[in-house]
Amino acid sequence: MVKIMPGIEQEDQSFRVLDQLSLNNLLSLSYHRLPQQLLNLSILKLDGSSFEVNVARNATIADLKQAVEEIFSLSQKDCEGKISWSHVWGHFCLCYEGQKLINDKVYIRNFGIKDGDQVSFTY
């Protein structure tokens, strides 16, 4: 019992709140993140053509490469050949303003890559 005012007491229920919530209620109280803002980047191929990819602002080089692979996978569905991405990344890399993007763990923001920028394939 907690004394509220002289002569008035109330049972302390503050510690029983969790007891009254079922496990299902606790599980439904999950945190929902805001949708991630995406960067729209242009990828310049060696033949001079380009295509667009969208990646999260906090994407790593690995995430960017994965987005490139997915674009090619979608466009190659009707083709018979399959791209060996380990071969591609073993011989080529992406480049931004003269900086080779070779460390998969580094965030693209560390290179100053912004929405609308162009990244190119290079040797």
Name the residue ranges covered by the structural domains of the chain: 38-122
Please give the Cα distance from 123 to 6 (Å, whole number): 83
pLDDT for residue 25? 52
Please check whether residue 73 is in contact with residue 106, taking contact to mean a CB–CB distance below 8 angstroms: no
Fold of 38-122: Ubiquitin-like (UB roll) (3.10.20)
Residues of the chain with pLDDT under 50: 14-23
pTM over 0.75: no
Pick left, alpha or beta for residue 112 (phi over 0 → left; psi -120 to 50 → alpha; otherwise beta). left
pLDDT for residue 17? 45
